[in-house]
Amino acid sequence: MAAKNFTEKDAKKTISKKVSEFLSKQRILLISIPLALILIAGLYGVVTLVNNSVAKKDFENLDTILFSLEKKAMGASEDTLLQSIHETKQELQAFVAKKKKGAASARASMALAGLEFEEENYAEAMDAYLASAEANKKAYTASVAYYNAAICAEELGQLEKALEIFEKAKSSPHFALVPQTLFNMGRIALELQDKEAAKGYFQTLVDKYSNESWANLAKSQLLILETEGNL
């Protein structure tokens, strides 16, 4: 069989595919961030709200739920663990239903979202991440919750919604992942065949965050788009 001619256009597509695969791996890693922040957010809430006995009690009750799951998970069989997770999700759902706003509610929703995501229940995870962000919009965890909700939307194939939620994450004060978010938005715009929007996201990333590694990836994408436009 004759060897297939490998053109420059093919090479550019291969590079683009590798970049997309790289980003896909990176975006999943961010899902673990809220789980690491759960205890931090809880401790912060207890310290800052120490004079509020109701808020302090809420955090204590939430800690009981989460630490109970941790204890049950130690040495548990798969069936027992799955049952424990199911029971914990029910407890967290009841907690959030009772406490819809505030730091404790945001933390509970974040924990619930993490459990749902691990089970690949992306619709439920997205709703829980959004609930976490809305429960305490001024918290630094809100932007991360929005980010992960956008990832869930993408997992569900809801690309337009993913862009909308990424925009919320990007616009949140003190969000440290703006460069990566811009790249995500550019990549999704490409999936939606909106090259002009993609160029805008990539160019903003290059212009505003030139020292970030994500800016180098954005430059590569802009070069690919420019080359494709000239073919």
pLDDT along the chain (231 residues), means of 10: 45 48 48 43 42 69 79 76 85 85 87 89 95 89 92 95 95 88 94 94 95 92 82 43
CA-to-CA distance for 185 and 154, rounded, in angstroms? 11
Residue pair 146/177 in contact (Cβ under 8 Å)? The answer is no
Burial (Cβ within 10 Å: 0-12, 13-18, ≥19) of residue 198: buried
pLDDT of residue 51: 46
| First-residue to last-residue Cα distance in the chain | 28
Helix, strand, coil % over all residues of the chain, rounded to 5 = 80, 0, 20
pLDDT of residue 3: 43
pLDDT of residue 12: 44
pLDDT of residue 27: 53
pLDDT of residue 153: 96
Q: Shortest CA distance to 169 belongs to which of 150, 197, 156?
A: 150
Ordered by start, the domain boundaries in the chain are 31-158
In the block, tokens 């994500």 appear at: 214
CA-to-CA distance for 83 and 225, rounded, in angstroms? 49
Q: What are phi and psi of 51, to 5 degrees?
A: -85, -5
Q: What is the pTM of this model?
A: 0.77
- Type of residue at 18: K
pLDDT of residue 207: 96
- Type of residue at 55: A
